[in-house]
Amino acid sequence: MVFSSIPFLFFFLPASLILYYAAPFKLKNHILLAFSLVFYAWGEPVYIILMLFASAVDYTNGRFMDKFGADDRRRRIFLCISVMINLSMLGFFKYADFLVEIVNGLFGSSIKPLGLGLPVGISFFTFQTMSYSIDLYRREVKVEKNYLTYLTYVSMFPQLIAGPIVRFSTVNEELHERTIDWDGFVYGTLRFMQGLFKKVLLANNTGAVWEAIKGMETGSASAATAWLGAMCFTLQLYFDFSAYSDMAIGMGRMLGFHYMENFCYPLSAVSVTDFWRRWHISLSTWFRDYVYIPLGGNRKGAAKQLRNMFIVWFLTGLWHGAAWNFIIWGLYYGVLLALEKFVWGERLSRLPSFLRHLYAVVIVVFGFVIFVFDDMGQLGAYISSMFGMAGNGLFGEEFLWYAANNGLLLAVAIVLAFPFYPFVKEKLKKVGKRGQSLLALGSMAGYVGLLLLTTAYLVNDTYNPFLYFRF
């Protein structure tokens, strides 16, 4: 679809910004809303009706909750209506065919799948609208009485398609009054460019290595090659998804909005718990605040805490897609987090940092192999190769070839997956004015060089979809 390509953003963003900046403040939300609807409708003209319906449902139920402010029973009824409609809509479009597949498998029936296309961004905007209804019921936010303002919140194009999941409480005040200045524009532009560089130069190229290794004849890869491929997919997914978040945060700042950070160098984690504090932060905190804590969290004993953890991680896996591998992936992390919490977490904390990091990386990389294969046969064959059970040994000539031809790319990607740049930046700042001048000149030269290199890649490859669009 058109808006899934980066060149489309190159043309769309300047046009929207020029009109947005030129308009008086009272018209800015209307302009943002108009461009957001065009942005979504350009690629999915039918499913825009779904987004409009979802926003109308939550807005209307929100108004009723506000009307019956002192009657908790009625407020609870309207909350349930809102949540049930949202989950039914998400379940129908995302999981109907999966349910048909399960029923056919269990009962030997031959029910024909509906073959529905997945509306882009439905998992993200559904969670956003639900957060508004729940927070309103909890009296943590005030009702939004202007439907167009609420629709602007739901449809904001910077983060509409793949997050971060922005809660109403985060942008409520800025929907009505925000600062739009030069500093925000500069920061937003640089942050957008950082995301662009990560996507085009790192995610796409590490992804190409992964696709080549994944495309090898089933079971023909050595263990080292299979692990190299898994590492490349991990790097691709991290740089791809964090790039979209960077670009969304950057575009938001250009428009005067402050979205939450969604990644904090997750591949530098030293435990699984630490990884999930750093990866897709807006999703993990959403499940924590709206599922885990309401279920009782860790307040009602170890048994119920384990139950709550497994419910959350089952739902986290299912949120990512209608396939068994996503459920297995979610439960995989549920088991590991439980083991860290109750079995070996304290011992792990006493290990040297390098070993703790190695432990976390191996778990994460293996986990993303589960994540990427929705065909159980392919998943089993790839895991067999990873552990040398496919009969191809630990090393092969193909590993040396991929490592030699992509060594520089992988080295750069691995270094940038760690907080290396912030470390250097902080050190240079402490040197004084000379260090700051050197940092400014180096950054400027770096941005110009990377922009030229990125443009060259875009000229040769105009279709650059983000991986998380499919979720």
- Annotated catalytic residues are 320
Q: Which amino acid is residue 390, in one-letter code?
A: A
DSSP state, residue 23? S
- Gyration radius from the chain CA atoms: 23
Q: Which residue has the tokens 């432990």?
A: 359
Helix (H, G, I), strand (E, B) or coil at 448: helix
Q: What CA–CA distance (Å, rounded) separates 365 from 358?
A: 11
Q: Angle at Cα 103 formed by Cα 101 and Cα 107, nearest 5°? A: 125
| Closest residue by Cα to residue 320 from 237, 254, 390, 395 | 237
Q: Which amino acid is residue 459, in one-letter code?
A: V
Q: Is the separation of the CB atoms in 219 and 390 below 8 Å? A: yes
Q: Is the separation of the CB atoms in 279 and 163 below 8 Å? A: no
DSSP state, residue 394? S
Q: What CA–CA distance (Å, rounded) separates 204 from 198?
A: 9
Going from the C-alpha of 308 to that of each of 57, 84, 110, 330, 337, the distances in angstroms are 29, 21, 35, 13, 12
DSSP state, residue 290? I
Q: Which pair of structure tokens corresponds to residue 129?
A: 């609208």
The upper half-sphere exposure of residue 370, i.e. CA atoms within 13 Å in the direction of its Cβ, equals 18
Q: Is the separation of the CB atoms in 117 and 94 below 8 Å? A: no
Q: What CA–CA distance (Å, rounded) separates 372 from 378?
A: 10
| Closest residue by Cα to residue 90 from 319, 401, 334 | 319
Q: Which amino acid is residue 57, in one-letter code?
A: V
Burial class (CB in 10 A: 0-12, 13-18, 19+), 202: buried
DSSP state, residue 3? G
Mention every residue, 6+ apart, whose C-beta is less than 8 A from residue 42.
1, 2, 3, 8
Q: What are phi and psi of 394, to 5 degrees?
A: -80, -40
Burial class (CB in 10 A: 0-12, 13-18, 19+), 463: exposed
